[in-house]
Structure 1
């Protein structure tokens, strides 16, 4: 097992809590120190990889021990100042979907979450694949990005913004509270 300066217990927590706790703990570390995040959420691997990349930290890898994922991150320099992606409330978004307005919707949840239930007609690209697969999308389209709570969709939006996408909207809170039609 890789050696870490500190360990963070995020077992039993679902998105976005492992990221929220990781961010708080990373703020306490000095540059170069390694944090081990112990998690049981299968989506935490892609979430932490994307978060580390977007904040200037280094994702060192994940080791599995039973049902526990041991993620290792090395603290980088100060977090980059990023402008948040514009947001739309779930209520406003639901009205747009229900009006049968033609929308470009990107679901960035993990495959298991997507397969459980998703909005009809969405494009599915898990967060960990957004950087390489977003080329399938039109950079000029207005794209609504949705995940479970709004955190992963924000990270996906930041990645896409760096690739030249200009009309991105983060749906907050996301599928966690969605009551509309699903497939």
Structure 2
């Protein structure tokens, strides 16, 4: 069992709130201290792992007790710049107009499988955030790729990862499927 210095209660919260609260709480910790995040959002594990990697913190693991996930994160040294390279955003309304115009688009949905299966935009490529780094070779680095998730936070992390891998035109759809009113499958 991992011993935490501080416990954060994120139970009952959905994306992006667990990451928002984690980010805020991590600022209060000293380098090397461990934060335990108690959460019920199943998709948060992948979000936390990607966020920790992009910010220089160490993801230590997750313990599961029924529907409760206890995530452990060790504070890194100097904070890494989260937006070293800015990712352009597109509003959901503008994106919806593009989708409805039937112009050919490359859309990547980075939500977890359960979220994707519930409803997704027709024709999207589905790669959960936790698999983007390994599976990005399935996409063309020269294509303009619109990346969508539930709220815009995971898609931003996916875009950052892809940009570091040499993708030239990644665009984050904000706020995401949470507010999508267009066609779904």
Shared fold (TM-score, shorter chain, > 0.5): yes
In the other structure, the counterpart of 2:118 is: 116
Distance 1:61 1:111 in 2: 21
Deviations 1:94-148 (A, max 9, x none): 0000000100000000000000000000000000000000111000000000000
The TM-score normalised by the length of structure 2 is 0.98
In the other structure, the counterpart of 2:77 is: 77
Residue 41 of structure 1 pairs with residue 41 of structure 2: yes
Distance 2:40 2:154 in 1: 17
Gap runs ≥5 in structure 2: none
> 1:78: how far off?
2.6
> 1:2: how far off?
1.2
Deviations 1:7-52 (A, max 9, x none): 0000000000000000000011111110000000000100000000
Gap runs ≥5 in structure 1: none
Paired residue for 1:150, among 149, 152, 159?
Answer: 152
> 1:83: how far off?
2.6
Paired residue for 1:104, among 103, 106, 111?
Answer: 106
Aligned length: 183
The TM-score normalised by the length of structure 1 is 0.99
**Which 4+ stretches in 1 moved above 4 angstroms?**
none
Find the residue that maps to 1:2 and give its secondary structure. coil
Residue 164 of structure 1 pairs with residue 159 of structure 2: no
The question of whether the paired residues in 2 share the 8 Å contact of 1:84 and 1:154 is answered with: no
Distance 1:73 1:84 in 2: 25
Residue 60 of structure 1 pairs with residue 60 of structure 2: yes
The question of whether the paired residues in 2 share the 8 Å contact of 1:47 and 1:127 is answered with: yes
Distance 2:92 2:79 in 1: 28
Question: RMSD across aligned C-alpha pairs, in angstroms?
Answer: 0.6
Distance 2:179 2:125 in 1: 19
